[in-house]
A and B are shown apart, each in its own frame.
Chain A
Amino acid sequence: MSPYTAKLRHSDRVRFLAIGLLLCEGGIHLQQYESFLHSVPTINTLFLLNAVSAGLIALALAASRHRVAILLALGAIGMTVVALVSLAIARESVLFNYSEPTLRFPVLFAALVELLTVVVASRFVAMRIHELG
């Protein structure tokens, strides 16, 4: 273990995990946009927005600590919950003229990553609030 890593607080490790999950979430949305959904009205824009937002939040979270990091993590949680709820709606009915009747592998993988993102980012928020007193 390097001296730098040894100095990291546990919450920082959780923060890096959240950053990785956010990048993964954005990557999946970008891949689905590029290969599959770019011709679907509205949904294509939303997927692109999710990818860009996830990337930007991840970058900002990597550069932030303390209270700003808490706000960014809350933003990531909000964005990811919206993505999960949208997927749930599209599975059961039609959302923006689009439904997702097939449980494709990217759909399952995205849902798993998004669930983990919410859990890890929430854990980071709780830990950082505790550290800041």
Chain B
Amino acid sequence: MLVVAMVIAVGSTLVVLLSGGSTGTSSSSPAPAAAVVGGKGKRVTVDISMFAYKPSTITVAPGTVVAFTNMDTTEHTATANNGPTFDTGAIQHLQTKTVTITKPGTYGYHCNFHPFMTGTIIVK
């Protein structure tokens, strides 16, 4: 009896876990955008999903508002590699935070919680 109860309990737990959590697979990040998008005050979105910035590289005009939306259930950041340029701070699940870069240049950034996550914003 005890064994049956244990099997049922464990089995049902696994079923719930395995059926409830999957979000499906996603393709790898699209190729870096070559064209300059945005413009002063215009908004360009970067999704954070499955521990990756999508797209990982964007090319924007100076003054473009870059919005980072976190689709993952764990927190992320978008923090400039050079430190002071920009740092969104912690972005919660489904939260969006924005940064605006006015000075032309190439800005690498990463997630403070998961440093293997990297992206690039090219401003020109």
A25-51 interface (Cβ within 8 A of B):
27-28, 30-32, 34-36, 39-41
Q: Is the beta-carbon distance between B114 and A27 smaller than 8 angstroms?
A: no
B1-55 interface (Cβ within 8 A of A):
1-3, 6-7, 9-10, 13-14, 17-18, 21-23, 50-52
| Identity of the chain B residue whose Cβ is nearest the Cβ of A34 in the assembled complex | B22
Q: Mark A1-27, 1 if CB is under 8 A from B, else 0.
A: 110010010000100110110011001
Q: Is the beta-carbon distance between A27 and B14 smaller than 8 angstroms?
A: yes
Residue count of chain A within 8 Å CB distance of chain B: 31
Residue among B3, B6, B10, B51 making CB contact with A40, cutoff 8 Å: B51
User: In the complex, how many angstroms separate the beta carbon of A109 from the nearest chain B beta carbon?
Assistant: 8
User: In the complex, how many angstroms separate the beta carbon of B1 from the nearest chain A beta carbon?
Assistant: 6
User: In the complex, how many angstroms separate the beta carbon of A26 from the nearest chain B beta carbon?
Assistant: 9
Q: Is the beta-carbon distance between B50 and A104 smaller than 8 angstroms?
A: no
**How many Å lie between the Cα of A30 and that of B10 in the bound state?**
14
Main secondary structure of the interface of A (DSSP, over half): helix
Residue among B17, B52, B73 making CB contact with A31, cutoff 8 Å: B17
Q: Is the beta-carbon distance between A102 and B93 smaller than 8 angstroms?
A: yes
Residues in chain B near residue A17, CB distance under 8 A: 6
B90 interface residue (CB < 8 Å to A) = yes
Q: Is the beta-carbon distance between B3 and A16 smaller than 8 angstroms?
A: yes
B80-124 interface (Cβ within 8 A of A):
90, 92-93, 113-116
**How many Å lie between the Cα of A41 and that of B10 in the bound state?**
29
Q: Is the beta-carbon distance between B10 and A27 smaller than 8 angstroms?
A: yes
Residues in chain A near residue B14, CB distance under 8 A: 23-24, 27, 31
Which candidate, A70-78, A80-88, A91-99, is the interface stretch facing chain B?
A: A91-99
27 intermolecular pairs with C-beta atoms under 8 Å apart: A2-B1, A5-B3, A8-B2, A16-B2, A16-B6, A19-B6, A20-B6, A20-B7, A23-B10, A23-B14, A24-B13, A24-B14, A27-B14, A28-B17, A31-B14, A32-B21, A34-B18, A35-B21, A36-B50, A39-B50, A39-B51, A40-B116, A97-B114, A99-B114, A102-B75, A104-B74, A106-B21
